Amino acid sequence: MPSLKHSNPYHPDILIFLVLIPFIAGINYYLTYTNIQFSGFLLLTFTIDTVQGYLAIGGVRYFIFFLDRKLPIEQQPGKRILIQLLCTIIIGLVIISLTTELVSWIARGRPAPLSFYTVDLVIISIWFFVVNGIYIGLYLHNKWRSSETELQREVRLKSEGLMVRQGKQDVRLSFDEIAGFFVDNEYVAVCTVSGKKYYYDQSLDKLEGNLPQSLFFRLNRQYIVHQNFISGYKRAENGKLLVTLKGIENFPEDITVSRLKAPAFKQWFRAT
């Protein structure tokens, strides 16, 4: 079954950094310069530094989303966090260094002073630890919220059961009564533990969203099975799985799970 989806697992990171970057730029000025005088030049340099910060955060954010696709935190959290920390610091410092050099050549016709690399970049590098802490904190917070939402959804679904059809009669079944679902011509058939057969009025795709994820798994395009009727699985060719069922009427003894769905099934099966 698909997990709860959200487009941005770090929401509201954009809003946070829109506010935080100017604040960080101000602190950097305070730590770097002893005699700060407000002027148009100060406003200009502060604006440039803020824009550089936004560019650096943009690069860092892009890389973090890239890592989410290649090495999700759940797989190897220690390795992921270490790679994220090192790479985001490098990416951020490279962006800030390049833009600083560009501004220096445009404004002064010479490279940035050595103090920028020995003082400013050291201070800035520390801030990237804070940035990573914020991103990891947002991820864990949103994951917790998603888990709570999913738990509430599961409780609600389990209490409601499922409305099915038998002839002209509508029947409400509890999920403990249902062994599985399969596509029967143009309809979705509902098989109960006792061997009865009902029909569901919507497609298997829509049905899937109305089932408790902890109880049911969609093995392929044709079958959804209750956890109590899955006895185990074995590996097949090309990374596929062959799932063994506990003798459900109208179901085969074994059902193939695709290579793409295999990791999700193994994780779900071990948690049941």
DSSP assignments along 153-200, one per residue = HHHHHHHH-EEEEETTEEEEE-GGGEEEEEEETTEEEEEETTS-EEEE
Domain boundary among 127, 156, 185: 156
Domain boundary among 114, 138, 156: 156
Examine residue 171 and state whether it is found in any structural domain, yes or no.
Answer: yes
Examine residue 247 and state whether it is found in any structural domain, yes or no.
Answer: yes
Q: In this structure, are 167 and 240 located in the same domain? A: yes
Domain boundary among 123, 156, 189: 156
The domain total for the chain is: 2
Q: In this structure, are 149 and 207 located in the same domain? A: no
Domain enclosing residue 20, as ranges = 13-156
Beta strands 162-166 and 223-226: pairing type? unpaired
Examine residue 1 and state whether it is found in any structural domain, yes or no.
Answer: no
The pLDDT assigned to 111 comes to 94
Per-residue pLDDT of the chain in tens (272 residues, 90 and over written 9): 334 344 799 999 999 999 999 998 888 777 776 676 777 777 888 899 999 999 999 999 999 999 999 998 888 899 999 999 999 999 999 999 999 999 999 998 999 999 889 988 998 999 999 999 999 999 999 988 888 877 787 777 777 788 888 777 888 899 989 999 999 888 899 999 988 999 998 899 989 988 998 899 999 999 999 999 999 999 989 889 999 999 888 899 999 999 999 999 998 998 87
Quote the pTM value. Answer: 0.64
Examine residue 6 and state whether it is found in any structural domain, yes or no.
Answer: no
CA atoms of 100 and 48, how far apart (whole Å): 9
Q: In this structure, are 122 and 167 located in the same domain? A: no
CA neighbor of 68 nearest in space, from 4, 60, 259, 54: 60
CA atoms of 234 and 240, how far apart (whole Å): 9
The pLDDT assigned to 148 comes to 83
List, in sequence order, the alpha helices (H) in the chain. 13-32, 40-70, 77-108, 114-115, 121-160, 204-208, 262-271
Angle, CA 83 vertex, CA 102 and CA 31 arms, to 5°: 50
